[in-house]
Chain A
Amino acid sequence: MKFFLIASESAEVLFYWTDTEFQLNVREHYGASQEEGHGLPAFEDSISTLFAPIIISCSTMADRESECYTSFTTENNHIYVLHRFDECLYIAVNGDGEEKEDDLRRKIYVMKKMIEVLFGMVTLSGNLLKKELRPQDTEHRARLWKHLQGLLETYSNLRENDQSFLVEAVERLIHPTLCEQCIEFLERPLVQQINSSVERAGEEVLHAFILVQTKLLAFYSSRNASTLSTSDLLVLIIMSQNMYPSVDMDDHAAEDVESTSGSGRESFYTPEPSSSEGDSISSENFLRVNLPVFEFVDPDVQMAEDSLHTLDDKPPDPSTPLRVFLEVSQKDRLCPMMPHSMYCLPLWPGITLVLLTKIPNSAVAISVYTFLEAFANLEKRLNENKGISTMHDVHNKLDKFIKALGRSEIQSVQLQNAWTDFKNKAFARGGTGFTKELIPCCVNMKTQLCGIYRQCFLTLSRPSAMSRRLSPGLQERAQVMLREKLVDWKDFLLVKSKRNITMVSYLEDYPGLVHFICVDRSTGRMIAPSFSISEQTTTELGQGPVAHYIKSKVWSLVRTTRSYLQKGYSTVTLRDGDFYFCYFLWFENEMGYKLEAGDIPVQPDESPPIGVLARDYYRNLLRYYSKNLKGEAVKCYELLTVHLGVIPSEIILQHCRQLASKLWEPSLNPLL
């Protein structure tokens, strides 16, 4: 029984996701209380009524005690986790024991991250975000929610079944020569050709990568691109998985012939037979993929609703990119939520080429971000009664910015009014000056800036925006080029993605070793023996209960070690049942010299869950650790091992040490 809700302070449902069991539960609840003949209320309304007391109590506690509920458990082991981000309250519920409190908290943070990637800086204004998440048009709302629900489901699926989403690091296919060839291919003919083509309509490919299922085959970044952060990359993988779900090995052969000929996205869609959610969700997925096809038939409808439409309202044309907002480092500073276009080009089922492009007007985003930051700072300082910066630099820049906007098609009247109002209050003689009374103006300015940002980057169906993208022909050429390149490798890659590295190759050197995961946190990459426990394929762990047991142990081990890491413990060994588990986190410098373990800061219980997707804990940790190291580059590694309990602990530790030093040897580690 699972449930997820985003609600406004006034208990308005901004988004929800539920499994069938919870849905039935709610229906029964209302079936019992509803008079005969009155028909059930809409599901959304039922939820709103059910949860309203909790949501309102949350607001009361926040207002009067500046406290917030973070979790509830009941005697039948239902868990409720709550978190408030500004004006939105996120609630995640589990009643089947499959998720623990930590998982639910993580789900909330990941959902927030995905919303940020989809809506960018609009998320900084509570009011705009509410409108964005709950569009007036019910059809539009249903479509948007379905998209978000799909993302949430895809994420949950991956977290439960994919080791790279368990530890939140990207897994690469281990095949150095092929990887290198692909990277070169991406660089030389592919990206080069696209970026020099006239059909790119002002867009510029910054990153290109090939995914085989969820694993990375090759990743290329153009020279002037800033690095793509691991958390962004993981979200992009979730999105591409949501569009083209992983296919089961046994099915893809049948699909082959068909899919190489056609390029329609629906032909790639194969409902996963092993999907845990059952049929209802698969069919929903199917609908989601198919629905827009019919819409596109009538372009007039699209135009008419134009202004309401946001990103999800994309025309079904597969060549239309997804708008994503990613972190970019610009001149030594990080700019979060910069607009990019994401093109997911399926090569074969399970193999996808992803292109990330810089869009022509992205400079506006940087300006907006600068202004937003300035006003947020001002607001903070006004609140704290601290010394006020006079905002003169912003003054001039904003004047110019508004003037420039006036020449474009963007409606900037409201921003202009807000700015005039601000100037009158802050700078003019009769105004209030920089006092607390200026705060409402600050807030208004921020909202207006977010509004501009929304107009620039979230209304994709505007005709001018439609033309600004890589032409379908260009996209198709890229697809064809890569297909030609990889056609002989296709089957190999699909098998390889299921058995990237296998435990068998380690058994001789490490008797008693059952499983391990090694993560390089400085690059966000991980290595682990494949762990597929599907019914058809037998793995080294065997089939059925043993494999499932070990899998559940590995999953709970990761959860446990994170809880210790949160409290500052970087080494953990556990004797649990018949197994012996180890966890190590350590630092090295560039030369591979082991650095002394430093104190790891103790995090409060309510801090974001340790990981990468939700908030990059390891990046902060590295920053914290290298503070005293005078700019020396520091690497951070994690190793988890599972051994049989009968192996003496000295041997286990020797194994761990050998693994730690061997795994990242260059032979195994192709350059990116």
Chain B
Amino acid sequence: MAELLLSDGERCKNFFLYDGSRVRGEGDLTREGICYFYPEQTPLDKQELLCGQLAGVGRCISEISLSPVRTLQLRNSKFAIRMSEDFLWALGCSMEVPTVSVCDLLDELISLFCFYNGPVRRIYQLNNRELLAARWAQYLSHLLSGSSKFNHTFSRLKTIDPTNVDPLLLLKAALILQACQRCPLVLTGCILFRGRVVSTQMSPELTMKVMVHESETYSEIQRKIGPSTFSSSGGAVSSTKVFLTSSELHYLQSSPVNKDFSHLTSHKDAPKKKTQLSRTLSDTPSTNSDLTNQCSSLLPQKVSLNLDWSESEHSMFSSALGTSNPLDRSPQSHKASHTNRKPSGEEQLKELEQDIWLRDSEQSIRDSHHPTNKDTSFERVFDTRGCRNVESQDDETAVGDRGGSCGSAPPFSGAFDSLEDDSLIPMMLYMHRVKELVLALLVEPRFLSDTASMEEVYHSSLASLNGLEAHLRAICPGAPVAPELYIFAHFDLIQHTLTSNLSGRPGRTPEHSFVRATSLLHSHFCNTETLQEAIIRSAGTAVYGTRSVAQETFYQQLGPSLRNSGIPNHQDSAFSLPSKARHRLLKHGVNLL
């Protein structure tokens, strides 16, 4: 998955936060209202012009339409706008970025700011602008950095390359997170390695937010102590205050095992049709759907490798069980308590073995019914662990719902919430760093004063984190892939991950046209819910795009340009793209069947 470094300035042109409440009177200067303006070196009068005009026009339109302005286009750039109280945020991008993506990006940026700083009005009362400007700059650069050509079309989560990693390591990471969760004060967590996700229990949006702090502390530590040496313990644990929206919190507090639909429907920001969230966010410790396929293909005997699980982990699991009471963990759970019970470490491993065996046998049965639905089985593994009694109904509803719903991608929830001050609830982000590996946990504020719990979590995970880090570090990057005769991009709408074989060479025409076609098709998919597939063809290139509730995939065949007259012709190679994509992409773990 090569990445292209593209100068961000080209695509993101402006960003500003303007506080209209400071510019009320006749004599008030527009500059008083400008809280932050990017690029910072913009001459002040230009900043004033843009802020003043956009804010004025925005207010005027809002008055006529009785609704805040959402987007604003100029001849050469487009702006996503958010208006709340007297604040106005505007993010300007160049015209080729799809409008939906600009809006998503702005929402993400605002919710990121609110995640670390809390309500905007309050933080601006408490702190000076320079400090906060630095934070905006930091978040902005984080969101825009590491851009692949698709970065502006899809907001994506960076994960470790799952094709390169032993699935057992991912499983191990997931188990570490589960172990930590046994402490009642821990809400959820994720494990990151070199700025990429190894395993997460959080929604992609939340994971993305957590990663900002991780990358910041990482670079800070690197600056202080040098890249190779990390202090062994004390400095490795850090924490910072964060703010969750009430919907995010509600979601986390409900039992991670049984996030069934009754929870989701009460979830403020997730309308019913977006129930597909339940599948992945339920308890899935993996980060990538490709991985799920790999996991499910594990043979039963391979599970014996689990015996490598060290003694210390066993003790970790049992001690964890000793101090925490899993029964009163989730007060809002509507399920009977036994479904919330977390098995002990030994049980867990045993059950895992059983599950994999069970799953394999069931898989064969299921395959006869749903031959193509591989990841269903995966969900089953983790569902069954927690609540074997209700599994079958749950599973069926899940499958049924998935088949029936045809929603768009889940939006970045929370951005809206975070604009309302009262809905932000302070929490803590706890981070435990082992060299380049980070365990990040969202914890109740009490956690940090509760020394016993903290030590518990620290010690129970330390050994496994060390082990995991050593393994991950040992992984060498995969051998470079021979250039292929096609380009593709596969975006997982649920996990926000992107798989693509786009080469790093910049400026190649087929790739440029592919990226352009992708962004056109993506906006079309976003705007037309019923659209499933599209082939678009210009004189030289043909691009195929397909979309389901879970994914968007784009495919283009390279090679000699297609000679054609443009008249309908069934022998035209453009129309064989769907079948080619189906076959070729299987080896990348993309299943379009």
Taking a contact as CB atoms under 8 Å apart, the answer to whether B531 and A574 are in contact is: yes
- The A interface is mostly helix, strand or loop, or mixed, namely mixed
In the complex, A560 Cα to B564 Cα: how many Å? Answer: 22
Kindly supply a per-residue 1/0 record for chain A positions 628-658, scoring 1 wherever the CB is within 8 Å of any chain B CB and 0 otherwise. Answer: 0000000000010000000001100110110
CB distance from A63 to the nearest CB of B (A): 10
Q: Is the CB of A653 within 8 A of B565?
A: no
One of A66-74, A113-121, A328-336, A521-529 contacting the partner: A66-74
Of the candidate stretches A137-145, A207-215, A577-585, the one touching chain B is A577-585
Q: Which of B536-575 contact A (CB under 8 A)?
A: 536-540, 542, 563-570, 572, 574-575
Complex CA–CA separation, A586 to B535 (angstroms): 16
How many residues from B make CB contacts under 8 Å with A?
Answer: 53
**Nearest CB to that of B53 among chain A residues?**
A57
Given contacts A574-B531, A575-B533, are A95 and B566 in contact (CB under 8 A)?
no
Q: Are B575 and A649 in contact (CB under 8 A)?
A: yes
A70 with B74: in contact, given A571-B537, A605-B95 (CB under 8 Å)?
A: yes
Q: Is B67 an interface residue (CB 8 A)?
A: yes
Looking at the complex, which one of A67, A73, A95, A597 makes contact with B564 (CB distance below 8 Å)? Answer: A597
Q: Interface 1/0s, chain A 46-73, versus B by CB < 8 A? A: 0000110110010011001101111111
A586 to B60, CA, bound (A): 46
Interface assignment of A402: CB less than 8 Å from any CB of chain B: no
Q: Is the CB of B75 within 8 A of A74?
A: no
Interface presence of B49 (CB below 8 A):
yes
The answer to the question of B524 belonging to the interface, with a C-beta cut-off of 8 Å to chain A, is yes
Indicate if B69 sits at the interface (CB-CB under 8 A).
yes
What class of interface size applies to chain A in its complex with B? Answer: 35 or more
Cβ-based interface call for B57 (8 A): yes
How many whole Å from A332's CB to the nearest CB in chain B? 30
Contact of B66 among A76, A571, A586, A654 (CB under 8 A): A76
In the bound complex, CA of A54 to CA of B59 (Å): 10
Is A623 close to B, CB under 8 A? Answer: no
B56 at the interface (CB under 8 A from A): yes
* Contact B531–A575 (Cβ < 8 Å): yes
> Which partner residue on chain A sits nearest B516 by CB separation?
A567
| A298 in the interface (beta carbon within 8 A) | no
Alpha-carbon distance A53/B539, docked complex (angstroms): 45
For chain A, residues 108 to 164, give those with C-beta under 8 angstroms from any C-beta of chain B. none
Tell me whether A657 and B64 are in contact in the complex, defined as CB-CB below 8 angstroms, given that A60-B53, A68-B74, A599-B538 are known contacts. Answer: no
Are A587 and B71 neighbours in the complex by a CB distance under 8 Å?
no
Query: B528 an interface residue at 8 Å Cβ cutoff?
Result: yes
A594 touches B565 (CB 8 A): yes
Interchain CB contact under 8 A, A654 and B534:
no
| Chain B residues with CB under 8 A of A65 | 49-50
Tell me which residues across on chain B come within 8 A of A596, comparing CB atoms. Answer: 563-565
Chain A residues closer than 8 Å to B516, beta-carbon distance: 567
- How many angstroms between the C-alpha atoms of A357 and B62 in the bound complex? 50
Q: Is the CB of B566 within 8 A of A585?
A: yes
Residues of chain B with a CB closer than 8 A to A16's CB: none
Does A606 lie at the interface of the complex (its beta carbon under 8 Å from any beta carbon of B)?
A: yes
Interface check B61, CB cutoff 8 A: yes
B532–A576 touching, CB < 8 Å: yes
Quick one: given A599-B539, A653-B575, are A74 and B566 in contact (CB under 8 Å)?
Answer: no
Q: Which chain A residues (547-575) contact chain B, with CB distance < 8 Å? A: 556, 560, 563-564, 567-575
A541: chain B residues within 8 A (beta carbon):
none
Q: Which of B73, B95, B528, B566 has a CB less than 8 Å from the CB of A571?
A: B566
Does any Cβ of A come within 8 Å of B270's Cβ? no
**Which of B57, B69, B542, B572 is most buried by chain A, counting CB atoms within 10 A of its CB?**
B57
A410 at the interface (CB under 8 A from B): no
5 extra interface residue pairs, beta carbon distance < 8 Å, beyond A80-B61, A576-B530 = A50-B60, A53-B56, A560-B528, A649-B570, A653-B575
18 pairs from A and B in contact (CB 8 Å cutoff): A50-B63, A50-B64, A51-B64, A70-B73, A72-B57, A73-B69, A75-B68, A76-B66, A78-B67, A80-B61, A93-B64, A567-B516, A568-B538, A594-B567, A595-B565, A597-B564, A650-B575, A653-B569
Q: Which A residues are within 8 Å of any B CB, using their own CB?
A: 25, 29, 50-51, 53-54, 57, 60-61, 64-65, 67-76, 78, 80, 93, 95, 556, 560, 563-564, 567-577, 582, 584-587, 594-600, 604-606, 639, 649-650, 653-654, 656-657, 659-660
